[in-house]
Amino acid sequence: MHFIQNNLGLVVLVIVSGLLIFWPMVNRRISGIKEVGILEATQLINHHDALVLDVREDQEYSAGRVPHSRHIPLRQLPGRLHELEKFKNKPIIAICRSGSRSGHGCSVLRKNGFEQVYNLSGGMISWQQANMPVEHK
């Protein structure tokens, strides 16, 4: 107790840091966004004709992407949702570099009536680490 009183600023900093680290994960659970790993994602792609939606920036997408993925940068997603209307009742796997931006993309999709939305855990980093195919232009 004496330590806490003498180091209140440090204790508050640790608590706030912890909240910032875990908030995205908690927020995704609350919003109904499911995280999938590489195995689940490939099963959704192969057996349920899931769309892979890449929300990275143009230069990132050009450097390498999941084969047959659709590219809509996150900042453009709200204005381009009409391009995804035919996938409203199909699984959509959102992907970015690490899984953070795609989580936000999933939230945008869910708020606009897309029901089967998944975030690829670890993004392109984990896709490439698992030696999955990558297209280059």
User: What tens digit of pLDDT does each residue of 36-93 get?
Assistant: 999 999 999 999 999 999 999 999 999 999 999 999 999 999 999 999 999 999 999 9
In this structure, the number of other CB atoms found within 10 A of the CB of residue 66 comes to 23
Query: Which backbone phi and psi does 98 adopt, to 5 degrees?
Result: -125, -10
Structure tokens at 121: 């855990």
Pick the residue with more confidence: 67 or 4? Answer: 67
Closest CA to 99 of 133, 77, 82, 74: 74
* pLDDT at 30 > cutoff 60: no
What is the value of pTM for the model shown? 0.79
* pLDDT at 134 > cutoff 90: yes
Burial 19-39 (b: 16+ CB within 10 A, else e): eeeeeeeeebeeeebebbebe
Pick the residue with more confidence: 8 or 120? Answer: 120
What percentage of the chain reaches a pLDDT higher than 90? 72
Q: Which residues are catalytic?
A: 96
